[in-house]
A and B are shown apart, each in its own frame.
Chain A
Amino acid sequence: MNWLSIIIFLPVAFLVLILLLPERFREWYRYITLGTALLQTGIAFVIYAGFNRSQSGMGIDGYQLVEKLPWIHLELGSLGRLEIDYFLGVDGLSVPLLILSALVMTAAAISSWEIKKNLKGYFALFLLMDAAIMGVFCALDFFLFYVFYELMLLPLYFLIGMWGGPRREYAALKFFLYTLFGSVFMLLVIVGLYFSVKDPVTGAYTFNMLHMMNPANFVDGAVFSPAVVETIFGVPARLLGFAVIFVAFAIKVPVVPLHTWLPDAHVEAPTPISIILAGLLLKIGGYGILRICFGIFPDAAVHFSWFIGMLGVISILYGALNALAMKDLKKMIAYSSVSHMGFVLLGFASFTVEGTSGAVMQMVSHGILSTMLFFLVGVIYNRVHDRFIPNFRGLAGHMPHYAAFVMVAFFASLGLPGFSAFIAEAFTLIGTFNSASVNALLPRWMAIAGSLGILMSAAYFLWTLQRMFFGTTRFKGGESWSKQLSDLRPIEWALLLPMALLSLVLGVFPSLFFNFSNATIATLVQELYKTGMQQLNILQY
């Protein structure tokens, strides 16, 4: 039992507490949940402080706080043994995301004050999802990862479906179907993978992801063995396996054209759940692509890098164009998420240290900023139950503090220097630009197209700012809206201020992030590129 197990199972313990507490203590549920999230944040920072930044590597030596317990060990007769372990560990890639998770969970817990009905069910599901999300970022066993990954779905289905907006049934079902569609096929690849990989020590088939990342552990002649070219339906099995897992995570990210669940789910979900969806769920997609898709199939990743970069560019531009056209503020922000997550894909595809670091930082930065953005939408929606951009005008004069935070969030999101998104997007673009000269994977125009995306994000954010906040104060709801639209309450300050400061701190001192994860990401990118190229030579496809 180390910090990782505690951070994962802490919410489960409090979940049981909430289930046991009688209804009359229902106001306590909020504080219990907030307390859990704060405790997790504390633990996350303890992990951050105790982390050895120079440690890196592709094997077990690259991970810290490793915990490994035997879980399911089956004799499969003619096949030999099957090994599934309770296997946790973190490196410079997962710790920042772990901290982000704890922070976003805290923000979501604060934002949950708007939930008024069925508190017991809500907070129980909330904590269950909390545990699953933490588990995803810590799991190093593919089976364990998959269990956590799927465990998120059901709570989210109910959280969107029971506490969501008018079209919640449709949105919840669509979200569930899309994700399950991706993950069921991923399950097939997982089965293929564990049949291909043996634990070098025990000789048993294993779900251990680190073993899967080491080409030496693959069984000769197995489906996904990199040593020989196995084909399925005439396509090399490794390329197919990569594509299937990539699609599963790309649905989560989401990558255009697999993004259509996102506007529905984000818009219909209640504010705290929108925050979690945008702040964390999308990051799980990005994390999965880098850790699992790229980690296990580096050859296919190198092979497909142009397509992945292209998908990134399409997401950036298509998301931005859609955001430009939206009249619903929440939908606009949902599409801006699609656009911003495109940078993550572009950075990964560049196979450069700058690009990948930038992409990971973009995940952290977008986690913080989208939390702010969705919360800010929730602020006016909770007051007047309307969030259509044309229905508001001159909010800056009416709610000055609110307008100030909106401006901070908007400017930070569109990449104003001094905020985290600027650094993240700049590094991503530098990496993309350099890729042409370093490894010749991505053409230079992709970087230019990416910067065009930044320009467009400036357009839609500034235009929204102009339409909603400037000019003479005028609301669709007239006088009654003016009364209801009061300025920020203390609890709203308590969420917005730390988030804004965090984005600023990361923008001014990006080394807080870069120094931390550099060793891991540098090793990761170099090793992946090296093994990828070697295996691609064998593949000769």
Chain B
Amino acid sequence: MLPHISKNVEEVLGSLGFFLPELLLGALFLLLILADLLLGRRYKNGSPIIAFAGVLIITLITCFQFEDAGKVFFGGMLHLSVFALLLKILFGVGMLLVITFAVRDFRIRHNEKGWGDFFSLLVAVLLGLNLMAMSSNLLMVFLSIEMVSICSYILVGYTTRERLAAESSMKYVLFGAVCSAVMLYGISLLYGLTGTLQLNSEFTTRLAATDALAAGLALFTTLAGFGFKLSMFPFHFWVADVYEGSTNSVLAFLSTLPKAAGVGVLVQFMHATYGFDWATWLAVFSIITMTIGNFQALWQDNLKRMLAYSSIGHSGFLLMGLAAFSQTGEMAVYYYLVIYTLTNIGAFVIIGMLANILHSENVNSYKGLGFKMPVVSVCFVILLMSLIGIPPAGGFVAKLLLFSAALEGYGSDGNILFLLMMIAGAINTVVALFYYLKIPLNLFLRKNEGMVIVARGHLLLKAVIVTLTALTVLLGIFPELVMRYFEG
């Protein structure tokens, strides 16, 4: 017994080095709570500044973890793959943007509960996201997903004084709780079938030896948890209502980072369940998800709801890359996630900024705005082009890579679903054009002479918007800036 303990302690101690960013995130979380308690009243901007600086430093530290890539630590609980590491960097960058946005989010800034907790929650959720991306044990998967979920519930409900926010928060909690319960059920089945919670080769061989039907049932029920985060069919019903009720900075977070983390978990999970026919099932889900998302978005005039449904459509595209389940697929999915995160956060920053000015999120209220706020409007159009996938914005290369991955999948096993998926992707791109164009239509093509806009200093948000737009185009012209990390 005794030698085991010392060995375990040694391993834990040895693992701490790989766990440094997460440890620091935990410390930052505590620091933020303390800072808010002690200094929150005197220095209102203290919390966001500490959070921003902390996350920035931690993200930089994460960037130096490449030499540790591939390590499995904490007794197999966590696996720092290259993909997970890249996702962690993406989370860090995304979180910096969300923090910056939240500083100027009216409903957060003037919240009667104060906003110190908000930033500590963002840091906590970042910790959860990192764990999600790295988890290689089903228990860890469950814990990290729950960590992200619970933080997200609070974030969505942060402005509960408003009826809509309370309603959407409630819906989110209920839906999330059911999905978690179903996932837990699946995990227990998997444990029963394989006798292990580790997502490793042992798990793979034992799962392959079990009855296909039982294994399939267990895998599908486990999928509920990831599907909820990914907002894929049939776990997408919460999306539109929750988005509509959330404030924009929460939404910028909610629509991007948990989705990326869901992809990360799913990739780990797919590696561990190698042999299961993911391609067929994910292809079917991909086609249904993207079609449902894009076609429902057609009828929306509320921008949040429109982007909510379009984000379901984007999940469908992500599933396309996952269905291919190859190195190309992983690269394509990561690149897509980077571009999607940048553009979607950019779009929500713009919507939030315009909502502050116009007090409306209806697309028809944007009439003629392009002439009053040319820079922001042009950026908005470029970001939308990226979301549709029109060159030279990054979304185009992302889509091209996904199509490549799908075609490669077709080439390797001749599954006709891959071709159908590509065709569905093409049709959905045209559908997406149809509803996204409502925005430039109102911004530029329609006139509204009577509009008076009170010019306010939105310098910070404008800087974020312009930077994100420039990045989207830059990455579209030089995708190697991201992709080279996959080489070697």
Contact = CB atoms under 8 A, between A and B. Distances in A.
Interface of A: 72-79, 82, 118, 121, 146-147, 150-151, 153-154, 157-158, 161-162, 168-169, 172-173, 176-177, 180-181, 184-185, 187-188, 191-192, 194-195, 222-223, 232-233
Interface in B416-465: 416, 419, 422-423, 426-427, 429-430, 433-434, 437, 440-441, 444-446
Contact of B327 (A78, A173, A195): A78
Q: Chain B's interface: helix, strand, loop or mixed, by majority?
A: helix
A151 B433 contact: no
Contacts of B446: 169
Interface stretch (B160-168, B191-199, B390-398): B390-398
Given A79-B408, A154-B390, A177-B434, A162 B445 contact: yes
A338 to B, nearest CB: 23
B486 interface: yes
B404 interface: yes
A232 B420 CA distance: 11
A223 B391 contact: no
B390 A150 contact: yes
B404 A191 contact: yes
A418 B184 CA distance: 83
A192 B479 contact: no
B487 interface: yes
Contact of B326 (A72, A77, A233): A77
Interface in B305-337: 326-328, 331
A180 B430 contact: yes
21 contacts: A75-B483, A75-B486, A77-B328, A78-B326, A78-B328, A79-B408, A82-B404, A147-B396, A150-B391, A157-B437, A161-B445, A169-B446, A177-B434, A184-B426, A184-B427, A187-B403, A188-B423, A191-B400, A191-B407, A191-B422, A232-B419
B75 interface: no
Contacts of B433: 176-177, 180
Given A169-B445, A184-B426, A147 B391 contact: yes
B444 A191 contact: no
Given A72-B479, A151-B392, 7 more contacts: A76-B327, A151-B391, A173-B434, A173-B437, A180-B429, A184-B427, A191-B407
Contacts of B381: 154
Contact of A195 (B408, B434, B444): B408
A45 B89 CA distance: 52
A79 B391 contact: no
A176 B437 contact: yes
B202 interface: no
B445 A168 contact: yes
A169 B437 CA distance: 11
B240 interface: no
A158 B444 contact: yes
B481 to A, nearest CB: 10
B331 A76 contact: yes
Contacts of B403: 187-188, 191
B444 A72 contact: no
A77 B331 contact: yes
B426 A188 contact: yes
Given A78-B326, A195-B407, A184 B331 contact: no
B70 interface: no
B68 interface: no
B145 interface: no
Contacts of B328: 76-79
Nearest to A118: B371
Which of A74, A118, A147, A173 has the most chain B CB within a 10 Å cutoff?
A: A74
A194 B423 CA distance: 18
Interface in B212-265: none
Given A146-B391, A154-B390, A188-B423, A74 B440 contact: no
B478 interface: yes
Contact of A154 (B385, B445, B480): B385
A15 to B, nearest CB: 13
B440 A158 contact: yes
Contacts of A194: 404
Contacts of B14: none
Contacts of B430: 177, 180-181, 184
Nearest to B416: A233
B445 A74 contact: no
Contact of A161 (B400, B441, B480): B441
Nearest to B429: A184
A153 B404 CA distance: 24
Given A180-B433, A195-B411, A223-B407, A188 B422 contact: yes
Contacts of A75: 483, 486-487
Contacts of A74: 331, 479-480, 483
Contacts of B437: 157, 173, 176
Contacts of B399: 187
A343 B371 CA distance: 43
B472 to A, nearest CB: 14
Interface in B358-387: 371, 374, 381, 385
Contacts of A181: 430
A150 B392 CA distance: 8
A191 B421 CA distance: 14
Contacts of B416: 233
B329 to A, nearest CB: 9
Nearest to B391: A147
A187 B400 contact: yes
Contacts of A82: 404
B327 A153 contact: no
Interface string B276-314: 000000000000000000000000000000000000000
Contacts of A172: 445
A177 B423 CA distance: 16
A266 B54 CA distance: 57
B466 to A, nearest CB: 14
Contacts of A78: 326-328
